[in-house]
């Protein structure tokens, strides 16, 4: 009796690196390992011995230790945030000229003054695994009857439009119904646009929606009769849209970050509240601490919702990096570089550059969608000075050209799904 060989992969080394605050070009690979083959041969004579005690003794002394044989093999988890940008002439995944049905003109760089589009010809290659090829019809079939919700700021809206363009291939798609009214996404009187959009693909019943919430927390009018009223910004309460509709979601992607500054908060007349009362603790009123509290509160709430809605898969996307050089958006900051990967092409460090989101999701059922470091390498892919709507001398070094970097965020999202 010869048991089948058992192959155990034993890592030779592990390299940990705790640097979080800046991109550090250190890395490791766990590909070096030892193959351990466990094979025991049982003497046939012992097996056919007529003496039961000898059989028992022989088997006891020759069989493999069950604790080793039955030891569960650890499933290798792909770390999509590690890897490198590689040239790929098959990109982009859709046409910036063709996806007019879904893509806002202000983000379609093919419709702008920009002349260089080399940034479109790259894809993200994870370090130790393959990124599944994205195919729109296959994705819709996988998501048959499901609802995918993206909730966050304008970067989340870019991700939403990117996903719709990827699914449709940038082509006109007649079998899509606007179902925004089902989620209260209708344009209010006097509003420039609704608070979001929801589209359902007729063939598969797949719904993809976006809801605008810059901070993810509830904003409550302090005086409904006064048009110029301030708003209570409840740091410990999720935005009502989530409370009302989360039970209908199968996939939820959250993001926040760039509205957490004094200028935005003051301009929007937001006043911080906790526990239903204005914040009295000056330390908590610090922008960083307030953001930290909100993100941790949202993750804790979502984690509980997953236990109540087990079909739900939730992701928190890390912050998308800005690339303003020699100033900020309103002080002459620019991002004029058009050469791809001029600051490197690889991400090899452990841990996210967005430590707030990373720490918030740790130990929860909410997954990390880590896009910060890989996006940080692509300063040439912003809208920059190509915008047709920006004031003279103002560049957009926050939002991305589409097609572009948000397509990669969605590829990683779909791979993690």
- The gap from C-alpha 388 to its chain's centroid, in whole angstroms, comes to 29
> How far, in Å, CA of 384 to CA of 352, rounded?
26
Helix, strand or coil for residue 283? Answer: coil
SS3 61: helix
pTM to 2 decimals?
0.82
Q: Which residues contact 371 (CB under 8 A, 6 or more apart)?
A: 81, 317, 318, 320, 408, 409, 412
CA–CA gap between residue 160 and residue 386 (Å, rounded): 22
Q: What count of other Cβ atoms lies within 10 Å of the Cβ of residue 117?
A: 16
At residue 117, the pLDDT reads 96
Work out the number of other CB atoms within 10 angstroms of the CB of residue 398.
19
Q: Tell me which residue of 399, 338, 408 sits closest to 373, measured CA to CA.
A: 408
As given in the structure block, the two tokens for residue 322 are 């800005």
For 88-139, what is each residue's pLDDT tens digit? 999 999 999 989 889 999 999 999 988 899 999 999 999 989 999 999 999 9
Beta-bridged to residue 176, according to DSSP, are 201
Measured at the CA of 124, the angle between CA 88 and CA 334, to 5 degrees, comes to 95
Residues 149/195, Cβ–Cβ less than 8 Å: no
The pair of three-digit structure tokens given for residue 301, joined into one six-digit string: 């709430």
pLDDT of residue 71: 53
**Spatial distance between the Cα atoms of 269 and 266, rounded to a whole number of angstroms:** 5
Low-confidence ranges of the chain (pLDDT < 50): 1-65, 67-69
Please tell me the predicted confidence (pLDDT) of residue 281: 87
């Amino acid at each position: 009796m010869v048991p089948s060989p058992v192959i155990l992969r034993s890592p030779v080394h592990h390299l940990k690196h705790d640097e979080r605050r800046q991109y550090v070009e250190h890395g490791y690979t766990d590909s070096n390992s030892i193959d351990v083959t466990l094979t025991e041969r049982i003497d046939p004579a012992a097996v056919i011995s007529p003496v039961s005690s000898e059989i028992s003794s022989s088997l006891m002394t020759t069989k493999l230790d069950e604790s080793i044989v039955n030891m569960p093999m650890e499933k290798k988890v792909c770390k999509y945030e590690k890897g490198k940008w590689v040239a790929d002439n098959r990109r982009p995944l859709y046409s910036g000229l063709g996806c007019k049905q879904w893509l806002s003109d202000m983000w379609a760089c093919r419709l702008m003054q920009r002349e260089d589009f080399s940034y479109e010809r790259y894809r993200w290659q994870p370090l130790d695994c393959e990124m599944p090829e994205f195919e729109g019809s296959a994705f819709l079939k996988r998501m048959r009857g499901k609802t995918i919700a993206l909730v966050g700021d304008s970067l989340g809206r870019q991700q939403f439009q990117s996903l719709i363009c990827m699914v449709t291939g940038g082509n006109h798609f007649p079998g899509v119904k606007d179902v925004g009214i089902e989620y209260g996404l209708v344009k209010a009187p006097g509003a420039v646009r609704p608070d979001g959009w929801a589209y359902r693909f007729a063939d598969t019943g797949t719904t993809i929606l976006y809801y605008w919430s810059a901070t993810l927390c509830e904003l409550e009018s302090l005086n409904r009769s006064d048009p110029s009223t301030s708003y209570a910004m409840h740091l410990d309460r999720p935005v009502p849209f989530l409370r009302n509709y989360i039970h209908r979601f199968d996939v939820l992607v959250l993001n926040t970050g760039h509205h957490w500054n004094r200028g935005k908060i003051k301009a929007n007349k937001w006043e911080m509240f906790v526990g239903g009362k204005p914040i009295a603790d000056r330390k908590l009123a610090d922008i960083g601490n307030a953001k930290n509290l909100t993100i941790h509160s949202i993750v804790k709430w979502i984690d509980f919702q997953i236990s109540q809605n087990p079909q739900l898969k939730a992701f928190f996307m890390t912050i998308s990096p800005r690339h303003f050089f020699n100033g900020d958006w309103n002080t002459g900051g620019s991002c004029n570089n058009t050469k791809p990967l001029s600051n490197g092409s690889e991400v090899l460090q452990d841990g996210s550059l967005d430590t707030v989101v990373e720490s918030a999701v740790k130990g929860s059922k909410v997954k990390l969608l880590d896009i910060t470091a890989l996006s940080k390498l692509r300063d040439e892919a912003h809208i920059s000075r190509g915008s047709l709507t920006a004031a003279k001398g103002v560049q957009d070094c926050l939002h991305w050209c589409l097609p572009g970097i948000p397509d990669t965020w969605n590829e990683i999202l779909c791979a993690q799904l």
